[in-house]
Amino acid sequence: MTDSIINLLTTALAEDLGEDGDITTSAIFDADDVGEALIRCKQKGVLSGITLAAPLFGLVDKYLASHISSAEADAPVTTVETYCCDGDPVEPGKAVCRIKGSVRSILAGERTILNLIQRLSGIATLTSAMVKELSDSGAKTRLLDTRKTTPGMRALEKAAVRHGGGVNHRAGLYDMMLIKDTHVRRAGGVTAALEKALAWRGGNAVPHIEVEVQSIEEFVQALRLKPDRIMLDNMSPKEIEICVDERDTSGLNIELEASGNITLGILSAIAATNVDYISCGAVTHSAPALDFHLAMLS
């Protein structure tokens, strides 16, 4: 588990526990009260985020240990036994993990772990549905995510996309050049912006350059300069097909990516153009949560 994920979990717990912790549970249960709980899925979908359960409850134990009074017994260690892996299909009633240990720990961490698993599994589930739509169409087109992620949760949300069968676009502004319409307008056009980016790469280690175009005319300009990938933004399936044919006729090994207002209903029509990728921000910014709940067993 990376330091950034541990920091995220720590911040999420601090948001819920504050300085005084779970005052309701502390009032009702002693520090040495032990119990078990199951986390079960309530909907059909694809699981993501289950690997966060063990480190999160480890952090809860540390938090409670630091707040325990000298008059109380040491709390037991909380353990997590997982029954499923990230990327596994789940059905209503399916238990994904069993948590054993301090009742205080289990209940203090309950909402945080459920929030994370529900959010990430929702992303994996929507991604899986879109990937299946592409697969059923028989197209070679692959589904990409975007940078439209929850601040601080990008690594987890992009992992959820992979769990759903999707492919990650760039991780951030640092690992790939993507010349957007904002760059194009300010630079004076596709040609001017792309020429500057290609010249800059000549002296720097940039593995990939992509440029966004919004018309067939802009596409032709970009194709002449041979970037690694061209994004076809908000184009109709017919316009995308024309661009794909133009690329194929040129013999150039340039990837093409369709983007803009992508929904499940139009995936097949876009994939029929034989475009290489379809990028969709909705898989992260608009995925509905997949419902889970925690039930105490004893």
- 257-271 confidence digits (pLDDT tens): 999 999 999 999 999
pLDDT of residue 218: 98
The hierarchical CATH code for the domain 3-125+287-296 is: 3.90.1170.20
Where, residue-wise, is CATH 3.90.1170.20 in the chain?
3-125+287-296
Predicted local confidence at residue 53, as pLDDT: 98
Write out the CATH class of domain 127-285. alpha beta
- How far, in Å, CA of 277 to CA of 258, rounded? 6
Catalytic residue among 218, 233, 247, 257: 233
In Å, what is the CA distance from 195 to each residue of 233, 253, 268? 20, 19, 34
Say what the pTM is: 0.95
Whether 94 sits among the annotated catalytic residues: the reply is no
Report pLDDT for 144: 98
Which residue among the candidates 148, 162, 196, 201 is catalytic per the annotation?
148
Torsion 202-213-143-245 (CA) sign: negative
Which residues, listed in sequence order, are joined to residue 277 by a DSSP beta bridge? 142, 257
The most distant pair of C-alpha atoms in the chain lies apart, rounded to whole Å, by 79
* pLDDT above 90: residue 201: no
Q: How much is the average pLDDT of 165-182?
A: 96
180 is catalytic: yes
Residues 123-150 have pLDDT tens digits of 999 999 999 999 999 999 999 999 999 9
Helix (H) or strand (E) holding 16: helix 3-17
Residue 226 appears among annotated catalytic residues: no
- Catalytic residue, chosen from 62, 140, 180, 185, is 180
Region(s) of the chain under CATH 3.20.20.70: 127-285
103-137 vs 53-67: helix axis angle to the nearest 10? 160
Q: Annotated catalytic, 111?
A: yes
